[in-house]
Structure 1
Amino acid sequence: MLEDFSPALLDLVHGSPELTDAVGGVVIHDPGDEVAFPPRAIVLGVGVYGTEEVARLLRELGEHGAAALVVRGPVERDEVLAAASAASGVALISLTQGASWSQLTELLRTLLTEGDIGDPGVESLGGVPSGDLFALANAVATLLDAPITIEDRRQRILAFSGRQDEADQSRVATILARRVPDGYLRILESRGVFSELYRSDRPVHIAPATIEEGETALPRVAVAVRAGDEFLGSVWAAVEEPLTPDREQAFQDAAKLVALHLLRHRAGADAQNRLRADLVSTVLEGGLGAADALDRLGLVEEPTVVLAMGLRGQRGDHAHLAAERQRLTSALGIHLNAVRPRSALALLGDVAYAIVPVPADPEAGQERAAQIAANFVERAGKRSQVVIGIGSVATEPSALSRSRTRADRALRVLMSDQRSRRVAAIGDVYIDALLLDLRDMAAVQGDELLSPVARLVEYDAKHRSHLIETLRAWLDAFGDVIAASASVFVHPNTFRYRIRRAAEVAQVDLQDPSVRFALMLQLRVMRPPST
Structure 2
Amino acid sequence: MPTSPRTSLGRVLDDFGPTLLDLVHGRPQPAGDIGGVVIHDPRDEAAYPSHAIVLGVAVYGLREIAGLLRDLGAHGAAALVVRGPVERDESLAEASAASGVALITLTPGASWSQLTALLRMLLTEGDVGEAGVQTLGGVPSGDLFAVANAVATLLDAPITIEDRRSRILAFSGRQDEADQARVATILARRVPDGYLRILEGRGVFGELYRSDRPVHIAPAAVDEGEAAIPRVAVAVRAGDEFLGSVWAAVREPLTPDREQAFQDAAKLVALHLLRHRAGADAQNRLRADLVSTVLEGGAGAADALDRLGLVREPTVVMALGLSGQSGDHAQVAAERERLTSALGIHLDAVQPRSALALLGDVAYAIVPVPADPAAGRERAAQIAGNFMDRAGQRARAVIGIGSVAGEPSALGRSRTSADRTLRVLLSGRTHRRVASIDDVYIDSLLLELRDLVAVHGDEPAGPVSRLTAYDARHGSHLVETLRAWLDAFGDIPAASAHVFVHPNTFRYRIRRVAEVAEVDLQDPSVRFALMLRLSLA
Q: TM-score, normalised by structure 2?
A: 0.88
Aligned equivalents of 1:325, 1:156: Cα separation in 2:
18
| AA matched with 2:116 | T
Counterpart position of 2:4: none
Give 1:133 shift. Answer: 0.7
Counterpart position of 1:326: 337
Q: Does the Cα contact within 8 Å between 1:117 and 1:276 map onto a contact in 2?
A: no
> Aligned to 1:50, which of 61, 78, 93?
61
Counterpart position of 2:3: none
Q: Does the Cα contact within 8 Å between 1:362 and 1:392 map onto a contact in 2?
A: yes
| AA matched with 2:533 | Q
Q: 1:519 to 1:134 in 2, by over 3 A?
A: same
| AA matched with 1:277 | A
Counterpart position of 1:493: 504
SS of aligned partner of 1:428: coil
Give yes or no for the alignment of 1:250 onto 2:261.
yes
Counterpart position of 2:133: 122
Give 1:38 shift. Answer: 4.7
Aligned equivalents of 1:211, 1:511: Cα separation in 2:
75
Counterpart position of 2:534: 523
Give yes or no for the alignment of 1:305 onto 2:327.
no
Give yes or no for the alignment of 1:447 onto 2:475.
no
Q: Does the Cα contact within 8 Å between 1:85 and 1:91 map onto a contact in 2?
A: yes
Larger CA deviation: 38-47 vs 471-480: 38-47
Q: 1:129 to 1:272 in 2, by over 3 A?
A: same
Within 5 Å, give how 1:127-142 maps onto structure 2.
127-142=138-153
Q: 1:512 to 1:17 in 2, by over 3 A?
A: same
Q: Does the Cα contact within 8 Å between 2:26 and 2:93 map onto a contact in 1?
A: yes
Give yes or no for the alignment of 1:340 onto 2:351.
yes
Q: 1:57 to 1:114 in 2, by over 3 A?
A: farther
Give 1:205 shift. Answer: 4.0
SS of aligned partner of 1:136: helix
Counterpart position of 1:89: 100
SS of aligned partner of 2:342: helix
Aligned equivalents of 1:34, 1:159: Cα separation in 2:
33
Aligned residues: 526
SS of aligned partner of 2:34: coil
Cα distance per residue 1:439-458 (max 9 Å; x no partner): 22121111122323333233
SS of aligned partner of 1:392: strand
Stretches of structure 2 that go unaligned for 5 or more consecutive residues are: 1-11
Give yes or no for the alignment of 1:403 onto 2:414.
yes
Counterpart position of 2:7: none
Give yes or no for the alignment of 1:460 onto 2:471.
yes
Give 1:403 shift. Answer: 0.3
| AA matched with 1:261 | H
Give yes or no for the alignment of 1:476 onto 2:465.
no
Give yes or no for the alignment of 1:373 onto 2:384.
yes
SS of aligned partner of 1:345: strand
Cα distance per residue 1:25-69 (max 9 Å; x no partner): 334445566656554332233353332121122223334443211
SS of aligned partner of 1:287: coil
Aligned equivalents of 2:19, 2:162: Cα separation in 1:
17
Within 5 Å, give how 1:108-119 maps onto structure 2.
108-113=119-124
Q: Does the Cα contact within 8 Å between 2:463 and 2:518 map onto a contact in 1?
A: yes
Give yes or no for the alignment of 1:429 onto 2:440.
yes
Aligned equivalents of 1:469, 1:445: Cα separation in 2:
27
SS of aligned partner of 1:354: strand
The percentage of aligned residue pairs carrying the same residue is: 81
Counterpart position of 1:294: 305
Q: 1:144 to 1:114 in 2, by over 3 A?
A: closer
> Aligned to 1:510, which of 521, 525, 531?
521
Larger CA deviation: 442-451 vs 311-320: 311-320
Aligned equivalents of 1:125, 1:23: Cα separation in 2:
24
Counterpart position of 1:156: 167
Give 1:158 shift. Answer: 2.1
Larger CA deviation: 169-178 vs 463-472: 169-178
| AA matched with 1:252 | Q
SS of aligned partner of 1:271: helix
Counterpart position of 1:414: 425
Q: 1:204 to 1:354 in 2, by over 3 A?
A: same
Cα distance per residue 1:264-313 (max 9 Å; x no partner): 11222222222222222222123233222222112251211001122234
Cα distance per residue 1:233-267 (max 9 Å; x no partner): 22233445554444333222211000111111122
Alpha-carbon RMSD across the aligned residues, in angstroms, is 2.9
| AA matched with 1:89 | G
Give 1:393 shift. Answer: 0.9
Aligned equivalents of 1:114, 1:347: Cα separation in 2:
21
Larger CA deviation: 48-57 vs 355-364: 48-57
Give 1:400 shift. Answer: 0.4
> Aligned to 2:155, which of 133, 137, 144?
144
Aligned equivalents of 2:314, 2:129: Cα separation in 1:
22
Q: Does the Cα contact within 8 Å between 2:126 and 2:142 map onto a contact in 1?
A: no
SS of aligned partner of 1:374: helix
Cα distance per residue 1:169-193 (max 9 Å; x no partner): 5544443444445565555556554
Q: Does the Cα contact within 8 Å between 1:300 and 1:397 map onto a contact in 2?
A: no
Aligned equivalents of 2:210, 2:292: Cα separation in 1:
44
Give 1:496 shift. Answer: 1.7
Aligned equivalents of 2:215, 2:233: Cα separation in 1:
5
Aligned equivalents of 1:244, 1:196: Cα separation in 2:
21
Q: 1:42 to 1:523 in 2, by over 3 A?
A: same
Give 1:341 shift. Answer: 1.3
SS of aligned partner of 1:149: strand
Aligned equivalents of 1:110, 1:360: Cα separation in 2:
31
Q: 1:224 to 1:52 in 2, by over 3 A?
A: same
Aligned equivalents of 2:225, 2:487: Cα separation in 1:
75
Q: Does the Cα contact within 8 Å between 2:113 and 2:349 map onto a contact in 1?
A: no
Q: Does the Cα contact within 8 Å between 2:117 and 2:345 map onto a contact in 1?
A: no
Larger CA deviation: 105-114 vs 355-364: 105-114
Stretches of structure 1 that go unaligned for 5 or more consecutive residues are: none
